[in-house]
Chains A and B, each alone.
Chain A
Amino acid sequence: MNFPVDLTPLWLTLKVAGVATLATFLVGVNLAFLVARSRFWGREGLDAFCTLPLVLPPTVMGYYLIVLIGRQGWLGHWLQEVWGISLIFTWQGAALAAAVVSLPLIFKSARAAFEEVDANLENAARTLGQSEAAVFFRVSLPLAWRGILAGAMMAFARSMGEFGATLMVAGNLPGKTQTLSIAVYDAVQAGNDAGATILVLLISVVCITILVVSSKALKAGYM
């Protein structure tokens, strides 16, 4: 069967959202554990900083990223000079934008999940001679797992739908950085309503599937 629209944006979106979620998972869970379990100066400041992308307009995040990782940005300049890497207009750039924007979702739910964990259980493990790493991996993480997973699902969904920052950082390059949400925008702008309809239905079906599967998985308690 010949599908009426090019499916590249779908695969690209899944790749971008997957990489972004993996990155936010690692960074978000670590930061959340730090904020939930340690006491240090600027703790609430760090919390606010990690939550900022949730409240700031995506265009503001996009602008920060361009200024930071653009060819003239200090980080972008360094990446270019030392490693020859340029993130602007690449799918990696799109993944970075999606990761930054979806970080608060996993960070917030992971922090809440870690704070729910009874500190006595962790202390009991310590009295039994477990190292801090073992306490984290064998007590805190398994007990907070559901909240973290729910956060990861939300982050994945948010990454799939990310538009504003992605458009600014990665542009609208068909086959390279044109994700589903940008392909929809592009089709509507060009007056291609038939193409837009198919893409819109596609992203809706994919998102509903993800939501249903993830809620089943969470309920079944396999994870």
Chain B
Amino acid sequence: MTKHILILLLGFGVLLIAGAAAQADQELIVSTAASLTNGMKAVAQQFEKMNPGVRIIGNFASSGVLLQQLDKGAPADVFAAADQKTMNQAQEKKLIRPETRKNFVSNQLVLIVPRDSRLAVSSLHDLSRPEFKRVALGNPATVPAGRYAKEALVKAGLWDQLSPKYIFGETVRQVLDYVRRGEVDIGFVYSTDVVIAQGKVKKVLVVKGHQPIIYPIALVASTAKQDLARRYLEFVLSPAAQEILSKFGFGKP
């Protein structure tokens, strides 16, 4: 009896491996910045619909984490980052193909509060008021949204003064979640994240004083599926994909 179960399990394992091998050349792994999650999933679905048999696998994390993964040899074919700095680092380390690098969408940094919050903000300086006990932003070491927020706060001369209030998220989506749950009083996210949260958070200020937020995309240098990856890249830049992304609140680059 045990022997039969063992054989069954072995057979199942072989099938799994064989299945994975058969599918492999039609799969594309796209390392995608967390803020692009919903928009790029919709783009990938459309691409899959147009190319039967192709599967797009999204790998979602903060851009800095994705960079580290690529650096450590993670298998990915396309890299879409949320800032130029991360892509520049990838380029310096020869992890991407520079000639394929294109800017494809833009975004805005905003301050949000939980839906039922009564706190109002007219400038970044309001964050130093005592009502704001916890201010969430992405970890500036790895999360571009946090880096943009830091840049704006430094420019406003508030960065050091506000430091006891910071709660760092591992991705911009974690910041969104903290605000949605009311665990923090206010947070820095992208305007596209407000669209996702569907009325559970309120946008109170469009943040200025940081570099323009423009998302680059490029082929990963080590990709073994150049043709498919190039086709996907072209699709992301096409008007059809741009229209999908604009529905999620992304602007033109």
Contacts and interface: CB of A to CB of B under 8 A. Distances in A.
B68 A188 contact: yes
Interface in A8-67: 66
A190 B182 CA distance: 28
Interface string B121-141: 000000000000010000101
A133 to B, nearest CB: 42
Contact of B183 (A71, A172, A173): A71
B168 A171 contact: yes
Interface residues of A, number: 15
Given A172-B168, A188-B68, A190-B142, 11 more contacts: A66-B183, A70-B181, A70-B183, A71-B182, A71-B183, A72-B181, A72-B182, A89-B167, A172-B139, A189-B64, A190-B68
A71 B167 CA distance: 15
B71 A191 contact: yes
B166 interface: yes
Contact of A173 (B62, B67, B71, B166): B166
Interface residues of B, number: 18
Given A189-B68, A190-B142, A191-B68, A71 B181 contact: yes
A88 interface: yes
A142 B182 CA distance: 47
B183 A190 contact: no
A112 to B, nearest CB: 29
A168 to B, nearest CB: 9
The 7 closest A-B pairs by CB, nearest first: A190-B141, A71-B182, A191-B68, A189-B142, A189-B65, A88-B183, A72-B182
B167 A173 contact: yes
A66 B178 CA distance: 10
B143 to A, nearest CB: 10
A205 to B, nearest CB: 25
A189 B183 contact: no
**Central interface residue in B168, B182, B183, by most chain A CB within 10 Å:** B183
A186 interface: yes
Interface of A: 66, 70-72, 88-89, 167, 171-173, 186, 188-191
A81 B168 CA distance: 25
A171 B68 contact: no
A173 B136 CA distance: 11
Nearest to A172: B168
24 contacts: A66-B181, A66-B183, A70-B181, A70-B182, A70-B183, A71-B181, A71-B183, A72-B181, A72-B182, A89-B134, A89-B183, A167-B170, A171-B167, A171-B169, A172-B168, A173-B166, A173-B168, A189-B64, A189-B65, A189-B141, A189-B142, A189-B170, A190-B142, A191-B67
A173 to B, nearest CB: 6
Interface in B160-190: 166-170, 181-183
A188 B141 CA distance: 11
Contacts of B141: 186, 189-190
B183 A186 contact: no
Contacts of A72: 181-182
A172 B166 CA distance: 10
Contacts of B64: 189-191
B93 to A, nearest CB: 10
Contacts of A190: 64, 68, 141-142
A81 to B, nearest CB: 13
B165 to A, nearest CB: 10
Nearest to A169: B183
Nearest to B166: A173
Nearest to A76: B183
Contacts of A70: 181-183
Nearest to A171: B167
**Central interface residue in B62, B71, B139, B166, by most chain A CB within 10 Å:** B139
B50 to A, nearest CB: 35
Contacts of A191: 64, 67-68, 71
Contacts of B134: 89
Contacts of A71: 181-183
